[in-house]
Structure 1
Amino acid sequence: MVSNISEISDLLHKFNTFVITTHVNPDGDAIGSEIALYEYLSKLGKTATILNHNVTPDNYLWMDLENKIIRFNPDEHKNLIQKVDAICIVDTNQPSRLRSLENYVLESPAIKIVIDHHLDPHPFGDYYLIDDDATSTGEIIYNLIKQSNDIEINKNIASALYTAIMTDTGSFRYPRTDPQIHIIAADLISSGANPTEIYSNVYEEWTPGRMRLLGEALDSIKVTANGKIAYMVCTQSMFKKTGTNEVETDNFTIYPMSIRGVIIGILFNELENGVKISFRSKGSIPINQLAKEFGGNGHLNAAGARIFNASLNDIIPRVIERAILYSEGNIPPIIGQ
């Protein structure tokens, strides 16, 4: 059921116990949205628990000094998922992206509320607050809190929402950045968010290993399609050599996209059991459609896919072959994998 803010607000006021969760490898929008929603529910006198498949990335731990976010353990938490009144799924609308929580969430009798800004929601929830024109899920939750008009946004909520919006807008430079999102950011700053500290916490706390990984990734960059496509590769051996993992490639896509003339940038991450692909594009190139060809999805200019039981040697040529068509303006019909 597609809902509006008023309906979702009524549900949050009606129920008393909640589980909040998000997608595998949570980013700033996911973590910030979870923290903000948790704080909001707590201010309403509700009991909420955040359960995630992954541990929180190091550069977002500063938002959760009280350890509100718990890594999901079936033995410890399956009964909780069964007993709560509602489960709020934020920043994803695909149950498969919940990974270890997927079956427990699907089997729970709890009301499922999906709050997200991505296209093509899977019909597993009971209520959907979807705005695919929003810059971020954080923007949607901001509007939910403001329109509910029952609490004051404090520093914790403001900082979490500012982080969500900042990271999903590429620090306010992606195409959906408009006057309204700057007005929202200004309000969050007035409510206690510190832009300098938040940016530093998120982007200026790299480990030496991550910096070395970036060096290896930059060295892997290849340019094709007459300079219109650039892609980079991070392999398992690179992760082991630098003591890092795929989570630490967050935002690496800005580098192939920074090359003059490039309109499609792609990052391939080798997983232990497959390949993760991050797609970016400029202008009107529907990179989410390319992602769909490989089982993924996303937005017009930013999307992703995760392919299991596949190798880089198999996937890279297939993806580049299809990407070339997009770079030439020949947007093809979606084909099977």
Structure 2
Amino acid sequence: MHRERKQRLHQEFEACRTLIAGHSTFVLTTHVNPDADGLGSELALASYLLSQGKTVHILNHSATPPNCRFMDPHSRIQQFNPTRDADVLKEAGVIFILDANQPDRLAGLKPFVLQSSAKKICIDHHLDREEFADLFIIDEEAAATGEILFNLLTSLTRQPLSQDIATALYTAIMTDSGSFRFPKTDSQLHRMVADLLDCGADPVTSYQQHYEQESLGGVHLLARALGSLRVTHGGAIASMVITRQDFLETGTTELDTHSFITKALNIGGVTIGLLLTEVDDGVKISFRSKGDIPINKLAQEFGGNGHKNAAGARLPGEKLTNILPILLERAQQYIPS
């Protein structure tokens, strides 16, 4: 780790230690439509805080996807209910925002988080943060927010991480690193994973529970997505479309599409993959790229954001038929000449 980056993170970890020591009640949350990185980071941090005698609430806008529920054997994560939970956020001493650095990503929790007098700590690895928290622990070089949590927790305690924490962090890192194949996977990350295995993480179980629990309807939905796949712009761009009718006829939901976008990049010569999903309030777009193509910049053109090679956007009120040609035209500008 670069010296300046290491020193900055150390200072931020110490500031976090002070805030944890000075408060007793904590709320943890992550972005809308949470993934294993956000959820695993929440669960790992919650386990640590509970071991320190703290009161902890995990409140998310969206329900936990079925393939992530194995990480939460104690059912600590709750879907946010304003009637029940507004006072919890109001009375919290500290609110942790994990794997998100923009309040809009909190969806229904946004006004309650911003209006709370609690200290706010944002831990994330995405680009382009908004200034809303009292303490930011941002490491854009990290492969996952779970990687930052590993470094934070091992700085806060000399005790070995529990098996629950190890499982949550291993799954967070495994999924956000693309099963250890994305560009930010390095020797340091593998050493971290080795430590998590030593603490009880089971790579076979984590992979099977996360990736091998598709429903029959989900497989049929994937078939429809692949049937819509088109390769354009000289073989550089692959796009897929999923409609509301596809969901209705296969008995599936948006949650069943979590891994579909990777299929587009499996095609030789394709450097940009796009998945457009028709949702109740508009269109959701998933963006992926290879190499040095900054796909997050394309996502920003459509009101989204993310990483250099993986990003997303939601366009309320838009229609698939209108967005697809515009998206393909703009994506063409990102193909290396």
Question: Sequence identity, in percent?
Answer: 49
Note if 1:45 corresponds to 2:47. no
Q: One-letter code of the match for 1:139?
A: E
Aligned-pair CA distance for 1:150:
4.4
CA distance in 2, matches of 1:116, 1:172: 19
| Matched residues, number | 329
> Could you tell me which of 150, 166, 174 is aligned with 1:158?
166
Aligned-pair CA distance for 1:151:
3.5
Aligned residue for 1:66, secondary structure, equals coil
Note if 1:87 corresponds to 2:102. no
> Could you tell me which of 224, 229, 237 is aligned with 1:216?
224
CA distance in 2, matches of 1:257, 1:119: 22
Aligned position for 1:16: 24
Aligned-pair CA distance for 1:65:
2.0
Within 5 Å, which residues of 2 pair with 1:1-337?
Answer: 4-329=12-337
Post-superposition, which runs of at least 4 consecutive aligned residues in structure 1 deviate over 3 A? none
CA distance in 1, matches of 2:329, 2:230: 14
Aligned residue for 1:5, secondary structure, equals helix
User: 1:277-325 CA deviation, whole Å, 9 max, x = no partner?
Assistant: 1111111011011111111111111111111111111111111101011
Q: One-letter code of the match for 1:291?
A: A
TM-score normalised to structure 1 length:
0.96
The answer to whether the 8 Å contact 2:226/2:240 transfers is yes
Q: One-letter code of the match for 1:280?
A: R
Q: One-letter code of the match for 2:57?
A: T
CA distance in 1, matches of 2:302, 2:144: 23
CA distance in 2, matches of 1:9, 1:202: 32
Which piece of structure 1 moves more, 92-101 or 5-14?
5-14
Q: Which ranges of structure 2 fall in alignment gaps of 5 or more residues? A: 1-7
User: 1:233-258 CA deviation, whole Å, 9 max, x = no partner?
Assistant: 11111111111111211121111100
The answer to whether the 8 Å contact 2:12/2:135 transfers is no
CA distance in 1, matches of 2:301, 2:243: 23
The answer to whether the 8 Å contact 1:13/1:44 transfers is no
TM-score normalised to structure 2 length:
0.96
Q: One-letter code of the match for 1:265?
A: G
Aligned-pair CA distance for 1:149:
2.4
The answer to whether the 8 Å contact 2:31/2:105 transfers is yes
CA distance in 2, matches of 1:245, 1:151: 41
Q: Which ranges of structure 1 fall in alignment gaps of 5 or more residues? A: 330-337
CA distance in 2, matches of 1:7, 1:251: 37
Aligned residue for 1:56, secondary structure, equals coil
CA RMSD of aligned residues (A): 1.3
